Amino acid sequence: MAVLTHHEVDIPGTYVFDGHAAMKGYALNKMCYSFNSAAAREEFLKDEEAYCRKFGLNAEQTKAIRDRNVLEMIHAGGCIYYLAKFAGIFHLTVQDVGAQQTGMSVEAFKKMIKAQGE
Amino acid sequence: MARIIGGLTTSHIPAIGNAVPKEQQLRDDPYWKPFFDAYPPARAWLAKEKPDVAVVIYNDHGLNFFLDKMPTFSVGAAAQYQNADEGWGIPTIPPFKGDPELSWHIIESLVADEFDITSCQEMLVDHGFTVPMSLFWQGNTYGDVKTIPVCINTVQHPLPSPLRCFKLGQAIGRAIESYPKDLKVVVLGTGGMSHQLDGERAGFINKKFDLLCLDKIVNEPEILTRLSIHDLVKEAGAQGAEFILWLAMRGALHHNVKKIHSSYHIAVSNTATGLLVLENAA
């Protein structure tokens, strides 16, 4: 079996979070992991940019966070399991996040999911 | 001797964790009814069999483990396990009893069997563990059941192959059935079925593939162990690769099993849900 990397995975619209991505996204994911703690979430909301600096996010990662852009976060090495904790701060569900990434409204995204059972 | 009486699999979607405490009110809710309607037969089987121990094969989603240290296979060896804030509001529920003596027996047996796992004397268990326990032991009535968490990495690739996970399950089966105490053990495999949370393909579900897995895992699991992780990501979605947890559960059971109950539903949240109850043949 060929070993595929983050950038080579041949399934359209799919990203494999591998060692390459894990190195690239370490700071971003570490920051998002910190959001397991309510105190960390509060600290982030008080001064987002300062919190990103504290974890050493690069410009691409900081911009993705500022823009709340999940696809950009993934391109910057983000892993969805940690990014979900970032989304949680804003009470966004995985369906909101799915809608954003697919460019659909949340209603259309939910319909698309349900339709796959029909 | 300890005896594995059977295995259960269920999806562990966080949204279920939030719905479970409200199951009575949601019973007639059109969104939740088809999901919750599937569970009474599984609960009835557990109520009849009364297992002493549940070995829960699950994946951590960034509560206990981070990328600084990411074990492929880890086994809990604590007297008690708790869940905690995961960042998006899952409720904290009563702690789970452990069985350190059985844990260490399993750890020793696995390492002797060439599975060099990570042992954990402290381990927070996340929704991958807690949601199935709350679903199967309604009202969090799992207080009399001792638990052994077995965590498989699905966060950071490379993930262990379906075949490797099946063999881990077989080794867990050998470990349990060589334990000298008279215990009735169930093995849970959590997660799945097809779903993808990330990327432009988010929302991908594959009913045909799920139904094939749900069918083959009963009597011909070996066929499914020929799949690669890449096959699973392609056919079941990026997070559908969690099916390796089901295969690990299946590996722990005997070759001959009896299917007590199964169910499939599209969807809860972004995920096709699957439920399976298998009883070990004598």
pLDDT of residue A2: 47
pLDDT value at residue B90: 85
Residue closest to A95 by CA, chosen among B197, B16, B237, B88 = B197
User: How many interchain CB pairs under 8 A, A with B?
Assistant: 136
The answer to whether the CB atoms of A102 and B63 lie below 8 A apart is no
Phi (first) and psi of residue B159, to 5 degrees: -90, 155
- The answer to whether position A5 is within a domain reads no
Q: Running along chain B, 282 residues long, what does each successive block of 10 average in pLDDT?
A: 98 94 94 96 98 98 98 98 93 96 98 98 98 97 97 98 98 98 98 97 98 98 97 97 98 98 97 98 82
Query: Residue A6's pLDDT is what?
Result: 52
Band the pLDDT of A1: cuts 50, 70, 90.
very low
B195 is catalytic: yes
Q: Tell me how far the alpha carbon of residue B50 is from its chain's centroid.
A: 18
User: Does residue A1 fall inside a structural domain?
Assistant: no
Whether A2 is in a domain gets the answer no
Q: How many domains does chain B have?
A: 1
**Any domain includes A23:** yes
Tell me whether B89 touches chain A (CB under 8 Å): yes
Q: Which of B61, B127, B254, B261 is catalytic?
A: B127
| pLDDT higher than 80, residue A52 | yes
- Give the pLDDT mean for A25-47: 98
What is the reported pLDDT for A10?
87
Residue B58 one-letter amino acid: Y
The structure tokens 């309510």 sit at A38
Q: Which of B63, B67, B228 best probes binding to A when mutated, by most A CB atoms within 10 angstroms?
A: B67
Contact across the interface for B203 and A84, Cβ inside 8 Å: no
Query: Is the residue at A109 inside a domain?
Result: no
Q: Tell me which of A3, A10, A36 to substitute to probe the interface with B (most B C-beta atoms closer than 10 Å).
A: A36
Calculate helix-pair angle for A80-89, A38-46, nearest 10 degrees.
70
CB atoms within 10 A of CB B214: 21
Shortest CA gap A26–chain B (Å): 8
Distance CA A86, CA B24 (A): 31
| Domain harbouring B86, CATH code | 3.40.830.10
Number of domains in chain A: 1
B105 included as an active-site residue: no
Gap between the Cα atoms of B261 and B178, Å rounded:
28
A80: containing domain? 19-90
* b (16+ CB within 10 A) / e for B233-258: bbbbbbbbbbbbbbbbbbbbbeeebe
Q: What are phi and psi of B136, to 5 degrees?
A: -80, -35
Q: Is the pLDDT of residue A3 over 60?
A: no
Reduced 3-state DSSP string for chain A? CCCCCCCCCCCCCCCCCCHHHHHHCHHHHHHHHHCCCHHHHHHHHHCHHHHHHHCCCCHHHHHHHHCCCHHHHHHCCCCHHHHHHHHHHCCCCHHHHHHHHHCCCHHHHHHHHHHCCC
The two most distant CA atoms of chain B are separated, in Å, by: 51
Residue A44 lies in a domain: yes
B121 in Cβ contact with B77 (< 8 Å): yes
Side chain identity at B212, as an amino acid letter?
Answer: L
Q: Cβ contacts of residue B223 below 8 Å, gap of 6+? A: B216
* Residue A102, in any domain of the structure: no
CATH number at residue A60: 1.10.700.10
User: 0.90 exceeded by the pTM?
Assistant: yes
Tens of pLDDT, residue by residue over B31-62, are 999 999 999 999 999 999 999 999 999 999 99
